[in-house]
């Protein structure tokens, strides 16, 4: 089923697991501010402690190694490694040096994401991603990190899910910084992608490691075969998938955005799209669910969830075929599509430790069915090189706080005790069979 060189790893993100939010010179980020705003995050949860990975990374990596994973995708916390003047914070950098040393000792390949949503608050105070200058500050950050860690990172990922940063953060307000203006989202997206393109050049100037970006995608199905619903699906697909990928691989935004948001204009300057479409060595794809949509006179489309389908704790429909179909579509749509890594895939469930065991049968089925979907896509010629399960451990799930558990390792947040779930043990057995 899988090539011997196919990479299997687990993924995490800094704000969701590290904690230590006021330790060793780390500055506040937009998610610290968002968490401190009443009503934003479930139960008033914050990332101040999270999984305390900042102090427990060695034991967490021992677990990762014991499970047999060959790779680890993590994110560097921008506010931990640089101060408000753009200077390096040596104590923050030293944490990631120790992290990389430990991974190296365990022979686990490190894949680093530069931006997993934790923008330094001092940059948000100057406009955040609405300020074009933030793209250049991001490039500076990429330059400094790639100088410091040259030769130590197996793959660089510039942005994680710019759709979520732009749309959920600037149009819907469900993510930091919590703004609610569609025009803001369009501006933020352009500056995020510009920052990506600028960072690609900086990374390549300092390091030979492959460079890519991580995009979240979801399957879209019309609620009926009516012309209105078919158009709604076209708009939803452009919004959720093509808004990021078309600029990267075609050098233009999808025309459907003009129908969705006729008053919102990307602040494009001469040369921007050439920077944005800088060739990448790979693209990361995060996939979780399907949307069924119908026409909506105001928004262009809206969800019409199907009854009697399998869903996760998030309420997301389990639809593995959507991953296969999207991978094949992207291969056909983008002639310049580089190799693909599935950089996130997994599900949340209401996991409990009972007699020392976590029985997460649904997650085991979920992962197996998505493995099969990836295999089918590869048989249709899609170049998929690796897979990272989301997530190594339960963690801070953004606006949901600690209510949703995506990990293959259970975390008791009161005691910080880790417990391998049945899915982790099943993956360990699967990975051992490949050796």
The tokens 């949901």 sit on which residue?
Answer: 400
- Does 224 map to a domain? yes
Overall domain count for the chain: 1
Q: Is 161 a catalytic residue?
A: yes
pLDDT in tens, 331-383: 999 999 999 999 999 999 999 999 999 999 999 999 999 999 999 999 999 99
Distances (CA, A) of 174 to 34, 295, 399, 400: 10, 23, 7, 10
Buried-exposed string 301-316: b where 16+ CB fall within 10 A, e elsewhere: beebeeeeeeebbbeb
Peptide bond into 276 cis (omega under 30): no
- Does 310 map to a domain? yes
- Does 222 map to a domain? yes
- Does 261 map to a domain? yes
Q: Single out the catalytic residue among 18, 48, 344, 376.
A: 344
- The Cα–Cα gap between 62 and 428 comes to 13
- The Cα–Cα gap between 156 and 211 comes to 5
DSSP codes of every residue in 337-352: ---EEEEE--------
The tokens 């119908």 sit on which residue?
Answer: 294
- The Cα–Cα gap between 176 and 187 comes to 16
- Does 2 map to a domain? no
Q: Give the pLDDT score at 3.
A: 83
- Does 11 map to a domain? yes
- The Cα–Cα gap between 413 and 403 comes to 11
Torsion angle of C-alpha atoms 364, 68, 420, 410, degrees rounded to 10: -80
pLDDT in tens, 87-142: 999 999 999 999 999 999 999 999 999 999 999 999 999 999 999 999 999 999 99
- Does 115 map to a domain? yes
Torsion angle of C-alpha atoms 264, 164, 140, 145, degrees rounded to 10: -170
Q: Which two tokens stand for residue 108?
A: 């686990």
Q: Which two tokens stand for residue 322?
A: 């959507």
Distances (CA, A) of 111 to 53, 114, 284, 319: 17, 10, 11, 27
The neighbouring-strand residues paired with 417 are 412
Q: Give the pLDDT score at 434.
A: 84
- The Cα–Cα gap between 203 and 206 comes to 5
> Within the chain, what is the greatest distance between any pair of CA atoms?
62
Structural domain of 424? 7-434
- The Cα–Cα gap between 142 and 278 comes to 15
Beta strands in 161-316, from DSSP E residues, in sequence order: 211-222, 282-296, 300-303
Instruction: Could you list the residues known to form a binding site, using ranges.
Output: 16, 116, 160, 288, 390, 397-398
Q: The pTM is what? A: 0.98
Instruction: Could you list the residues known to form a binding site for substrate, using ranges.
Output: 16, 116, 160, 288, 390, 397-398
Q: Single out the catalytic residue among 161, 187, 256, 317.
A: 161
CB 186 within 8 A of CB 257: yes
Mean pLDDT for back-to-back runs of 10 residues, the chain (435 residues)? 88 98 98 98 98 98 98 98 98 98 98 98 98 98 98 98 98 98 98 99 98 98 98 98 98 97 97 98 98 96 97 98 98 97 98 98 98 98 98 98 98 98 98 87
Q: Give the pLDDT score at 4.
A: 85
Q: Give the pLDDT score at 1.
A: 55
The residue length of the chain stands at 435
Q: Is 252 a catalytic residue?
A: no
- Does 349 map to a domain? yes
Instruction: Find how far residue 132's CA is from the centre of its chain.
Output: 22
| Domain of residue 204, CATH code | 3.20.20.80
């Amino acid at each position: 089923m899988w090539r011997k060189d196919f990479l299997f790893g687990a993924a995490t993100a800094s704000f969701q697991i590290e904690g230590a939010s006021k330790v060793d010179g780390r500055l506040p980020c937009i998610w610290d501010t968002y968490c401190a705003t009443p009503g934003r995050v479930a139960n008033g949860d914050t990332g101040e402690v999270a999984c305390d990975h900042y102090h427990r990374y060695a034991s967490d990596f021992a677990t990762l190694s014991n499970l047999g994973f060959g790779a680890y995708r993590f994110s560097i916390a921008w506010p931990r490694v640089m101060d408000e003047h753009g200077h390096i914070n040596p104590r923050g950098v030293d944490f990631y040096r120790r992290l990389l040393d430990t991974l190296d000792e365990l022979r686990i390949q490190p894949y680093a994401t530069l931006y997993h949503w934790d923008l330094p608050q001092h940059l948000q105070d100057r406009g955040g991603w609405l300020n074009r200058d933030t793209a250049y500050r991001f490039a500076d950050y990429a330059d400094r990190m790639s100088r410091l860690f040259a030769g130590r990172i197996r793959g660089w990922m510039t942005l994680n899910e710019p759709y979520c940063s732009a749309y959920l953060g600037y149009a819907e307000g469900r993510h930091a910084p919590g703004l609610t203006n569609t025009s803001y989202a369009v501006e933020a997206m352009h500056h995020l992608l510009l920052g990506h393109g600028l960072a690609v050049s900086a990374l390549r100037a300092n390091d030979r490691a492959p460079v890519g970006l991580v995009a979240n995608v979801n399957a879209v199905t019309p609620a009926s075969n009516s012309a209105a619903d078919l158009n709604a699906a076209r708009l939803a697909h452009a919004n959720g998938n093509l808004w990021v990928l078309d600029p990267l691989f075609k050098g233009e935004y999808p025309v459907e955005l003009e129908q969705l948001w006729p008053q919102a204009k990307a602040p494009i300057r001469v040369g921007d799209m050439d920077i944005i479409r800088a060739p990448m060595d790979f693209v990361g794809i995060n996939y979780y669910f399907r949307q069924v949509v119908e026409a909506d006179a105001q928004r262009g489309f809206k969800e019409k969830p199907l009854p009697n389908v399998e869903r996760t704790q998030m309420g997301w429909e389990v639809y593995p075929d959507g991953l296969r179909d999207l991978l094949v579509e992207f291969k056909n749509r983008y002639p310049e599509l580089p190799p693909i890594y599935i950089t996130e895939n997994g599900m949340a469930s209401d996991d409990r430790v009972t007699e020392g065991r976590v029985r997460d049968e649904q997650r085991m089925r979920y992962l197996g069915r998505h493995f099969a979907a990836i295999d089918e896509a590869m048989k249709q010629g899609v170049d998929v090189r690796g897979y990272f399960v989301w997530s190594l451990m339960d963690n801070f799930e953004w606006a949901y706080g600690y209510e949703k558990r995506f990990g293959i390792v259970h975390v008791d947040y009161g005691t910080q005790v880790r417990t391998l779930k049945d899915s982790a043990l099943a993956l360990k057995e699967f990975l051992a069979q490949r050796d």
